[in-house]
Amino acid sequence: MRSRLTAAIALGKATATLSRALGWGGGTTVPGRVARAVEPNVVGLLSARLRLGSVVVAGTNGKTTTAHLLAHIVRALGRSPVHNRAGANLAAGIASALVADADVLGRPRGDLGIFEVDEATVPRVVPAIAPRTAVFLNLFRDQLDRYGEIDAIAGLWRSGGAGWAPDLVVVANADDPLVADAVRGLPGRLVPFGIEDERHARPALEHTAEARYCYRCGTAYIYGATYFGHMGRWRCPGCGAARPQLEFTACDLAPLGPDGSEFAVRERETGGVARVRTVLPGLYNVYNVLAAVAAARSLGVPLDAAARAVASFTPAFGRAERVPVDGREVRLLLVKNPAGFNEVLRVVLSEGPLPVVLIAINDQTADGRDVSWLWDVDAEMLAGRAARAVVTGLRAGDMALRLRYAGLPRDAIEVEPAYDRALKRALDLAAGGRLYVLPTYTAMLALRAVLRRWGAVRGFWAT
Ligand SMILES: [Zn+2]
């Protein structure tokens, strides 16, 4: 048993070294795949040795940001988190992270696991990890070709419940009725979080909204307030289901546009309140911050300390990341589904009209192969507010067409399939100002490769 684990670690480490030497990339999943072929339970065996246990983070949007935030908070308190790389959120990616962290005898260097887990992988991976805290952020229509309907995902979470630890802390976004419904059958202590600030509510449910009808009785939900996508203060007039009482509440919000936001976090049980300032923009990031703070509290981090750590956090790779290029600032904001895209548009347009935006759309597996979701994006927001749109990526043509239908004049849309030329052109049009770049996942990797060639960013696995 032990020698099989040792062999799995040795082979996994050798694979990581080899894949780096051969330039295959960061070795984010292949070492884990190799290690699991030798010892199928490598995730369970290694995660069980982490002194402070593990936290898993699941949901369509915000996993990477929330996991990085939580890692930053616990690091500020002297702990050593082990976490998987952005996007490497299947079992192999988690195994890779654990193998990289362990020494050859399987002793971990880190003391706390923080793992992003793909929505559909939750029931398979979570029982092996036996986390002390599970964070559920949201469910959006994302990569439907890969997962099927979101209802099926919610069902998967519930059915995984039998394998969860009974003392689990379930940190869940109560403003998302789908999440609230999906976690209701899980064991352990439920810690619901949400926003309470009518001044920043949106007047009506956006057309991208997923959860219009109650999952228990089919009646249309009534929203007292909506904040982001289908999230808000909801209730069902049919069966009486409603947003659970919040344990962690974000209130007294002061959005600072693209530069972040400031708000108060209130903890019901202790009556504690802490003022939080973050450079992460948009209401969607208020949810991510709340989730990270609530998870940190479940690990015993004082509320004040968590809030202080949030203030010194700088965003992960492609999530509102700032990259200086020749004295100008490039701001990368990942887009991957309609609700997230809309929120990003709101943020970048919040300071007034822009000379240019760069949009980069790919349709590789990590982006989702089906780009029909672009038609659910409220691209109309850009009409009259972005003087130019430079469009690149494998599906630049689809995005350009969407922008035409959204009312942008033909000569305001420039299609430039080559990433480097698109970036250069957009920087020229930005005329010394900040350039907003809105890429899908693999388009972001491609644009970052260009920035790396220009000497503006470090390599993927060095970040
Ligand atoms: Zn109902």
Q: Which domains does the chain have, with CATH numbers?
A: 2-311 (3.40.1190.10), 319-462 (3.90.190.20)
Res 210: pLDDT = 63
Q: State both tokens at 432.
A: 């010394």
CB 201, CB 232: distance < 8 Å? yes
pLDDT of residue 318: 60
CA of 221 to the centre of ligand 1 (A): 8
203 CA → ligand 1 middle, Å: 22
- Tell me how far the alpha carbon of residue 157 lies from the centroid of ligand 1, in angstroms: 20
Q: What is the model's pLDDT at position 460?
A: 42
Q: How far is the CA of 177 from the centre of ligand 1 (A)?
A: 11
CA of 218 to the centre of ligand 1 (A): 6
In the reported structure, the alpha carbon of residue 216 is separated from the centroid of ligand 1 by a whole-number distance in angstroms of 5
Do residues 376 and 208 make contact, with C-beta atoms less than 8 angstroms apart? Answer: yes
Compute the distance from residue 269 Cα to the ligand 1 centre, in Å.
Answer: 28
Q: How far is CA 338 from the centre of its chain?
A: 14
CA distances from 416 to 84, 141, 282, 358, 447 (A): 34, 29, 29, 10, 13
374, HSE (Cβ side, Cα atoms, 13 Å): 26
The CA 240 to ligand 1 mean position distance, Å, reads 6
> If you measure from the C-alpha of residue 242 to the centroid of ligand 1, how many angstroms do you get, rounded to a whole number?
8
The rounded Å distance from CA 158 to ligand 1 centre is 18
Distance of CA 138 from the midpoint of ligand 1 (Å): 19
Ligand 1 midpoint to CA 97 (Å):
41
CA 213 to centroid of ligand 1, rounded, Å: 8
CA 456 to centroid of ligand 1, rounded, Å: 52
Distance 181 CA to ligand 1 centre (A): 11
Span from the CA of 154 to the centroid of ligand 1 (angstroms): 16
Task: Return the pLDDT at 119.
Answer: 79
Q: How far is the CA of 273 from the centre of ligand 1 (A)?
A: 33
Distance 180 CA to ligand 1 centre (A): 13
Q: How much distance in Å is there from the Cα of 220 to the middle of ligand 1?
A: 8
For ligand 1, the distance from its centroid to the CA atom of residue 204, given in whole angstroms, is 20
Half-sphere exposure of 81 (CA within 13 A, CB side): 24
pLDDT tens per residue across all 463 residues of the chain = 568 999 999 999 998 888 877 776 656 788 899 999 999 999 999 999 999 999 999 998 899 899 999 999 999 999 999 998 766 778 889 999 999 999 999 999 999 999 999 877 888 888 889 999 999 999 876 544 444 566 677 777 776 655 677 889 999 999 999 899 888 878 889 999 999 998 888 766 655 556 678 878 888 888 988 888 889 999 999 999 999 999 999 999 998 788 889 999 999 999 999 999 998 988 889 999 999 999 999 999 999 999 999 999 987 656 667 788 887 889 999 898 888 898 889 888 887 899 999 999 999 988 888 888 898 899 999 999 999 999 999 999 999 999 999 999 999 999 999 999 999 999 999 988 889 999 999 999 999 999 989 887 654 433 3
- For ligand 1, the distance from its centroid to the CA atom of residue 182, given in whole angstroms, is 14
Task: Give pLDDT, residue 459.
Answer: 45
CB 176 within 8 A of CB 139: yes
Shortest CA distance to 319 belongs to which of 297, 335, 306? Answer: 335
Across the beta sheet with 319-325, what order do the strands follow? 319-325, 328-333, 435-439, 354-360, 386-392, 413-415
Ligand 1 centre and the CA of 3: distance in Å? 53
Task: Give the model's pLDDT for residue 268.
Answer: 97
Q: Residue 423: its pLDDT value, please?
A: 95
How far does the centroid of ligand 1 lie from the alpha carbon of residue 235, in Å? 8
pTM of the predicted protein model: 0.82
Q: What was the pLDDT predicted at 145?
A: 40
Query: How far is the centre of ligand 1, averaged over its atoms, from the C-alpha of 237 (Å)?
Result: 7
Measured distance CA(100)–CA(195) in Å, rounded: 38
Spell 41-79 as b/e; 16+ CB within 10 A means b. bbbbbbbeebebbbbbbbbbbbbbbbbbbbbbbbebeeb
Distance (angstroms) between ligand 1 centre and the Cα of 147 equals: 25
Question: If we measure between CA atoms, which residue out of 152, 157, 79, 83 comes closest to residue 114?
Answer: 83
Distance (Å) from CA 419 to ligand 1 centroid: 48
Dist. CA 243 → ligand 1 center (Å) = 12
Ligand 1 centre from 184 Cα, in Å?
Answer: 14
Between the CA of 215 and the centroid of ligand 1 the distance, in Å, is 7
Task: Give the C-alpha separation, 387 to 408, whole Å.
Answer: 9
